[in-house]
Structure 1
Amino acid sequence: MTALSHPRKTSQKPLPMESLLVPQVPRGNYLNLQEEKQRLQLKKFLLHRMFVVASIQENTEKTDVAEYYEQAFQSILKHHLGEAVTGLLLVYPTSMLHILESSTGTLYQILEEYLSHQNEEFMIKDMKIIAISHNIPSRLFMQWHISLIKVPVLYLDDVTQSQTLEEVITEFLTHTHKLGLYLFKTIKVGTKGLGDNLHQIVPDLLPPEQIIKYLCKSKEFMNPAEFMNMYNKPIHITLDSEIVWPAPSYF
């Protein structure tokens, strides 16, 4: 005798509409790719380099500028452990050039620290962000260097009067890059400081102060407030097709 088998009833629930419309495929993005590359290279964060110029208030002790940044770094690094700042601060008689290397969060906190003094009479003013190099492979500066350019450097002509902005920027970046390579090759890690005689040792590698003052007045570059406003602005843009009814279907 054979037993009769009855077909087993199975409950089939309709699949959600979202699963039919949106492909269930894991997707990455370029940021994930870069972070994974940094993880494989045993790096904790993406490294960036920022070039900043600014004017200095009259009757300001140049050592006060250096002390301000040292205190700012110590305060910021309490919240960004392991993200040390390296670079170069050149303090001229009436202006300054600052090159900074660190993580995104640390660099932006340095700009925010500067902006916190905007409603008061602060010794640093007219700051402009000249360039930011993102995801650089390695540091050009092994530590943070400071040099006070006490003796004015004399120049035969003012290049800013005869050159275009592109030519001035090219000369500025060429000087800073050559100066950075010189310091990388000659300054040993752990050196206390550069001293205040760079204008005598490598006068040809120092960016002329006239160029720095010219860049401070240039309207083509963003100040920290404009830059941070752009950075904090959401990048998501609502399209017209997303607010019409009925909602469009994507296949």
Structure 2
Amino acid sequence: FSFSTHTQKSSKRPLPMENLMQPQVPRNNYLHFQEEKQRLQLKKFLLDRMFLVAMTRDNIEKKDVTEYYEQVFQSIAKPHIGEPVTGLLLMYRTFIVHILESSSGTLYRILLDYINHRKNRGEYFIQGMKIIVVSHNIPTRIFMQWHVVVIKVPVMYLDDVTQSQSLEEVITEFLTQTHKLALYFFKTLKVGVKGPGESLHQPAPELLLQEQIIKYLYRSEEFMEPETFINMYNRPIHVTLDTEVVWPAPSRF
């Protein structure tokens, strides 16, 4: 009886190898990590940010541009509730800078609207457009709403600095200035205020982009037009390469 009791007690002790084999830390893959991150941030969709530059026709009115884009945003938002568009539209004499923040699907439809207008060759204030940067899955917005600002820069700010700079330096300055301007808007404007109007060069002249920089980026061949971007967006990921195709097909002997 004593022998059986000793056997029962020893059987309850785990072997040393079993202790080593037990996982000490729960292991999750990268997909679970991203899903948990999105759940904690209470996001319904991934947030993207797009930087655009475009050339406009002469004598364009701020009211016409504002009403047009607000109508586009509303038509896109109807089937996509909860995906608002925030950003900034800077209107210069012949060029515009447009920063948009929303889901990839919403940004995709905004580009499609531009492409449809261009194909129809109707009356449209944008004559050409280039995509400078697209940032995917950004952690947060830098704009609380969508603003339109008309830039009437004095002559003293119109010196061309792109002649002595490389493309990389111009892009760096472009992104740096736009982010500084976004931070200025975030700190100074309250929710519901449409923007500082046409007097932005007075409170923050050092934050304004020179129109020559926008013109330089617009004319650079390194940046895509919306049609090229949309074609790449719709292209299938799984592409069969020529090196994967063997003819005649291999056969077993």
Given that 2:148 and 2:194 are in contact with CA atoms closer than 8 Å, whether structure 1 keeps it comes out as: no
The CA RMSD over aligned residues, in Å, is 2.2
Q: Match for residue 117 of structure 2?
A: 117
| Whole-angstrom distance in 1 between the partners of 2:30 and 2:104 | 16
Q: What secondary structure, in the 3-state scheme, does the structure 1 residue paired with 2:201 have?
A: helix
Give 1:194 deviation, angstroms.
Answer: 2.8
- CA distance in 1 between counterparts of 2:235 and 2:125 reads 29
User: Which residue of structure 2 aligns with residue 154 of structure 1?
Assistant: 156
Counterparts of 2:155 and 2:102 in 1: how far apart (Å)? 30
1:133 aligns with 2:131: no
**Which of 202, 210, 213 does residue 212 from structure 2 map onto?**
210
2:240 paired with 1:233: no
User: What does 1:88-107 correspond to in 2, within 5 Å?
Assistant: 88-107=88-107
Closer/same/farther in 2, CA of residues 124 and 156 from structure 1, 3 Å limit: closer
Query: Could you tell me whether the CA contact under 8 Å between 1:85 and 1:100 is conserved in 2?
Result: yes
- In structure 2, the CA distance between the partners of 1:32 and 1:237, relative to structure 1 (3 Å rule), is farther
Question: Residues 118 and 35 of structure 1: is their aligned pair in 2 closer, same or farther, counting only changes over 3 Å?
Answer: farther
Q: Is the 8 A contact 1:153 1:199 kept in 2?
A: no
Off by >3 Å, runs of 4+ in structure 1: 28-36, 150-154, 239-244
Deviations 1:193-247 (A, max 9, x none): 3322111111110111111111111111001011111111111112444665347
Match of 1:129, SS? strand
Write the distance in 2 (CA, Å) between the matches of 1:243 and 1:33: 40
Asked whether 1:54 is paired with 2:84, we answer: no
* Alpha carbons of structure 1 residues 85 and 128: separation in structure 2 relative to 1, 3 Å: same
Q: Tell whether the 8 Å contact from 1:159 to 1:168 is kept in structure 2 after alignment.
A: no
Structure 1 length as normaliser, TM-score? 0.81
**Structure 2, gaps ≥5 residues long:** 1-27
Distance 2:90 2:110 in 1: 17
d(CA) in 2 for partners of 1:93, 1:156: 12
Cα distance, 1:145 vs. partner?
1.1
- The equivalent residue for 2:38 is 38
TM-score, normalised with respect to structure 2:
0.80
Change (3 A) 1:153 1:197: farther
Tell me which amino acid in the other structure corresponds to 1:39: R
Deviation at 1:108, TM superposition (A): 0.7
Q: SS of the residue aligned with 1:200? A: coil
Matched, 1:182 2:184: yes
1:10-58 Cα deviation digits (max 9, x unpaired): xxxxxxxxxxxxxxxxxx9967753453133211011111100101112
Identity fraction in percent: 67
Are residue 75 (structure 1) and residue 75 (structure 2) matched?
yes
Distance 1:156 1:62 in 2: 22
Contact 1:115 1:225 in 2 (8 A): yes
Residue of structure 2 equivalent to 1:168: 170
Q: Secondary structure at the match of 1:117?
A: helix
* Separation in structure 2 between the aligned mates of residue 147 and residue 241 of structure 1, nearest angstrom: 53
Counterpart amino acid of residue 84 in structure 1: P
3-state DSSP of counterpart to 1:199: coil
- Structure-2 separation of matches of 1:31 and 1:71: 37
Judged with a 3 Å threshold, the aligned counterparts in structure 2 of structure 1 residues 40 and 194 are, in CA distance, closer, same or farther, namely same
